[in-house]
Amino acid sequence: MDYDSPFPSMEAEMARALSEDLRVRVLQAGVAGRSAPSVARRFEVGISTAIRWASA
């Protein structure tokens, strides 16, 4: 825990690599008409990630 952090009760989270399979499932959900926020919640990715993958 970083005691100099302004949020000492929050654990640091490192970015994790996301699999190609996850990307495919996120894209399929988007094609099926789900919104980026709902897709992000469903697959536990950032909204910006869902949007970026959809626009690539």
- Write out pLDDT tens, residues 17-54: 788 999 999 999 999 999 999 999 999 999 999 999 98
Higher pLDDT, 14 or 45: 45
Task: Provide the pLDDT confidence category of residue 9 given band limits of 50, 70 and 90.
Answer: low
Whole-structure pTM value = 0.66
The Cα 33–Cα 10 span in angstroms is 35
Residue 13 pLDDT > 90: no
Residue of 50, 18, 27, 24 whose CA lies nearest to 37: 50
Predicted local confidence at residue 23, as pLDDT: 93
Q: 50 near 30, Cβ under 8 Å? A: yes
